[in-house]
Amino acid sequence: MSDRLLVLVRHGESEWNLKNLFTGWKDPDLTEKGVREAKEAGRRLKAQGLSFDIAFTSVLIRAQHTLDLMLVEIGQTGLPVVRNLALNERDYGDLSGLNKDEARRKWGEEQVLIWRRSYDVRPPGGESLKDTLARALPYYVQEILPCVLRGERTLVVAHGNSLRALIMALEKLSPEQILKRELATGLPIVYRLNTDATIASKQDLAA
Return phi, psi of residue 98, to 5°.
-85, 145
Give the residue extent of every domain in the chain: 5-204
DSSP secondary structure string for all residues of 11-71: PPPBHHHHTTB--TT----B-HHHHHHHHHHHHHHHHTT---SEEEE-SSHHHHHHHHHHH
pLDDT at 45: 97
Query: H or E element: which one contains 139?
Result: helix 129-139
Average pLDDT, the chain: 94
pLDDT digits (tens, 9 = 90+) for 97-131: 999 999 999 999 999 999 988 899 999 999 999 99
Question: Topology of domain 5-204, per CATH?
Answer: Rossmann fold (3.40.50)
pLDDT at 1: 46
| Residues acting as catalytic residues | 11, 89
pLDDT digits (tens, 9 = 90+) for 174-193: 998 998 888 999 999 999 99
